[in-house]
Amino acid sequence: MTQSVNIPPDCLPEGAIPGEILPAQGDIILNDGQPTVRLMVINRGDRPVQVGSHYHFAEVNPALDLDRAQAWGKRLNIPSGGAVRFEPGQEREVTLIAYRGKQRIRGFHGEGHEK
């Protein structure tokens, strides 16, 4: 069950807008200190391919030519909700980071999961 909480206006700092998000000062470093892998990827297909931030990179579209063994258990090291697009014939380097936690990869193509 969802409940709403009413905050009296006199509890808000001066000039605050209800519901606004005020981030802390400074830069946010994603995945700070986590090991990464850099891979070259070539789109050998005739259509663009887009890969989302949390997709298991070893199982991306077969038109993408890459070292899938190196990509096993990893995802793009980009902000959540983002994506990388590969145009036909495009070659680009990506940075991958390992899934954390128990590393149980479910869904996707189902190729040899739960290593």
Give residue 108's region: left, alpha or beta (phi > 0; psi -120 to 50).
left
Contact residues for 101 (Cβ-Cβ < 8 A; gap 6+): none
CATH number at residue 52: 2.10.150.10
For residue 103, being part of any structural domain is answered with no
Query: Residues of the chain whose pLDDT is less than 70?
Result: 1-3, 7, 9, 107-115
- At 90-104, the pLDDT tens digits run 999 999 999 988 877
Q: With CA atoms as reference, report the closest residue to 58 among 114, 111, 115.
A: 111
35-49: b (≥16 Cβ within 10 Å) or e: eebebebebebeeeb
For residue 77, being part of any structural domain is answered with yes
Indicate the pTM of the whole model. 0.73
Q: Which residue range(s) make up the domain with 59?
A: 28-98
